Chain A
Amino acid sequence: MKTGLNKILLLLALATGVAFADPIPAEALTQGGLPMRDRQLRDIGLVLRGGRGGFIDIGYTYTPSSEQLQLKSQYGVHNGYAFRHHYGVFGSWVLDPVSHFGFLTWFDRTGWDSQDFFFFPHYGDFAHISSALTWGFSYTNSKYDATVALGLQHQNLEKAGWRAYPHESDSLLFYWAHARFKNVSFQGSFYRNTFQTLRISLELESRELYGGAGNGITTYLPNLSATIYRRKTGDDDDNFIRLNWEQNLYKQILYADVSYDFPDDGFRSAALKYYPDPSRMIGFEASCLRRHERSGAKDLLWGGAIDLLFLRFAYNSAFDYENMFHAKGTFIVEFKFNIGSTPDGKFFGRGAPKAAPMETTQSQFDMKKFMKNRTEQNMGTPTYDAQGNKILHAKGIRYEKEGAGTTSNEGGY
């Protein structure tokens, strides 16, 4: 009875998730470049907080129904699939006891197409597919606890369907640089001689992973960052600053994350995040985002997400609204995996303050013991006849070559 009810509830939830989904606007697709590049640089910033060890991130969003994330163009509403495929890899090598040399590459392919796909899109008449690739090199000096990194960022338009989208620039090349000293970092990305984003981050929270305290009052200090975004309204510069404030609320397992836009737009988003373990392999979040579409409380988009290491379920989450073309009103499933490792072999999730607790067991391989166990298993318990002689049971048949023990030439053919 109980499982029956659960099943009905699950089906209802799925049905509402699909039926009340809102189509994504075509403008959100054409303006998706900046959020995509900025998210990659923010990720890179988190990884370069350590600048040593490695990090891997891979993800594939999955929306099973073609009516789930439809496209709203000027002609009406098109059935199809919005998608976001991404990966990120960072690896570092030890040059000498204090120097670490790293290479990183981040790639996103996002858009909308009338068919879903793994690698080869359908390229329908209304498809919009674009990608961003960020790569670069890093150098970390662990004696001074400092990192510098720089590289390039490519944004490419793979396909934009006829008449549905305004003209866009293709093959944009940006360059970026990142510098960190202890818990202060600067990051900038540029197009030709103008900046696109400039960010300063103060990670005041003490993190055990980077040599800080594991508990105590210093773990309750805030992580702050301010980013200047270049924005044009018509011909005028309309730059704005986004403040992010991440705050440990309880034992580094409960966090608040608030963002605020200066000077005009005000409150942007807030999220309450709960990680059962500070290593952030698993997380739960509730988020609230202001869309600037309506006035008052109706403008707020409430949602949440569950992150289960390999799988992420989200409904109306602020992250998906910003990174999946204003997707809302539907469940988004992402098959994903991300994990970081420290040089001494500990693992952690993205942005974690502590490494995952691991049991280390010392095991040495003992060949003799292994062989003995194996032989005993094969033989089984020996049986004895009435006289007390051991009986051997032969298993299988073995043919021996005539003249075994001599070389084959002398076998006498």
Chain B
Amino acid sequence: MKYLRLFLCLVALALTACMSHLFVDTTTRLQLENKTDVTILGLDVVSEDGSSVRPWIRDTIEPGEKSRVFEEDWVGTFRVRVRFDKWNAGALVSIAKACGTYSRPNRVYNTLAKQGEPNVIEKNISGCGSEENVHMVYTETDLEFEGGSQYLVVSQDSTGNVAFKFK
């Protein structure tokens, strides 16, 4: 009986829906630290098919530096892309797009990640008529954001791959 009353009180409390605003975050305030030896050009959230890109961290972060804090409505699990100006280690996949035969970078990334192979991709598209010329060095991964203040460290592991760690 004692527990029933407690339970009902909790239900009533939780039902005053606005209460959840006190302990549920609807935004993530993200700060990025660059522990690699190259410059990070930014962090974006990309759609699964790669067709839609939403910039999140819009700073250029030098090695050893931190970005500013950017607050966005991303709470959950999303595909994140971090762009670099170059990648020094040997662990690098190159996609040079020859017009007509185009391998989708996502696919390449997915299969490579499973094998524990390099996860940094260099994409080169040039001279493809109507399409824009692209030179981009980036890595993609699914990250879970719990909301609130989050501090993401991007570093290079012993195999030369990019490693992500929330601190």
Let me know if A74 is at the binding interface, CB within 8 A.
Answer: yes
- The majority secondary structure among interface residues of chain B is mixed
Complex: A273 Cα to B24 Cα, angstroms = 38
B45 touches A125 (CB 8 A): no
Let me know if A66 is at the binding interface, CB within 8 A.
Answer: yes
Q: Which of B10-18, B97-105, B124-132, B153-161 contacts A (4 or more CB under 8 A)?
A: B10-18
The one of B15, B45, B73, B78 in contact with A124, judged by C-beta atoms closer than 8 angstroms, is: B73
B46 touches A62 (CB 8 A): no
Contact with B along A319-349 (1 / 0, CB 8 A): 0000000000000000100000000000000
The one of A66, A76, A118 in contact with B78, judged by C-beta atoms closer than 8 angstroms, is: A76
A79 neighbours in B (Cβ, 8 Å): 24, 75-76, 147
Min Cβ gap B33→A in Å is 23
A64 neighbours in B (Cβ, 8 Å): 14
Let me know if B54 is at the binding interface, CB within 8 A.
Answer: yes
Complex: A70 Cα to B74 Cα, angstroms = 12
A191 neighbours in B (Cβ, 8 Å): none
B77 touches A124 (CB 8 A): no
B76 touches A116 (CB 8 A): no
B26 touches A115 (CB 8 A): yes
Let me know if A231 is at the binding interface, CB within 8 A.
Answer: no
Q: Tell me whether A115 and B73 are in contact in the complex, defined as CB-CB below 8 angstroms, given that A75-B54, A122-B26 are known contacts.
A: no
- The majority secondary structure among interface residues of chain A is loop
Q: Tell me whether A74 and B49 are in contact in the complex, defined as CB-CB below 8 angstroms, given that A114-B73, A163-B54 are known contacts.
A: yes
Min Cβ gap B131→A in Å is 22
Let me know if A93 is at the binding interface, CB within 8 A.
Answer: no
Let me know if B85 is at the binding interface, CB within 8 A.
Answer: no
Let me know if A126 is at the binding interface, CB within 8 A.
Answer: yes
Q: Select from chain B the residue with minimum beta-carbon distance to A122.
A: B26
Contact with A along B138-167 (1 / 0, CB 8 A): 000010000100000000000000000000
The one of A62, A71, A115, A126 in contact with B24, judged by C-beta atoms closer than 8 angstroms, is: A115
Count the B residues whose beta carbon is within 8 Å of the partner chain — how many?
26
Contact with B along A17-59 (1 / 0, CB 8 A): 0000000000000000000000000000000000000000000
Min Cβ gap B10→A in Å is 10
The one of B20, B46, B47, B74 in contact with A116, judged by C-beta atoms closer than 8 angstroms, is: B20
Q: Select from chain B the residue with minimum beta-carbon distance to A163.
A: B52
A125 neighbours in B (Cβ, 8 Å): 72-73
B74 neighbours in A (Cβ, 8 Å): 75, 78
Complex: A71 Cα to B73 Cα, angstroms = 13
Let me know if A256 is at the binding interface, CB within 8 A.
Answer: no
Q: Select from chain B the residue with minimum beta-carbon distance to A127.
A: B73
Q: Tell me whether A126 and B73 are in contact in the complex, defined as CB-CB below 8 angstroms, given that A76-B142, A115-B26, A116-B17 are known contacts.
A: yes
The one of B14, B21, B48, B76 in contact with A74, judged by C-beta atoms closer than 8 angstroms, is: B48
A181 neighbours in B (Cβ, 8 Å): none
Complex: A62 Cα to B12 Cα, angstroms = 11
Instruction: List 7 A-B pairs, minimum CB-CB distance, nearest first.
Output: A76-B78, A125-B73, A74-B47, A114-B26, A78-B76, A116-B17, A79-B75
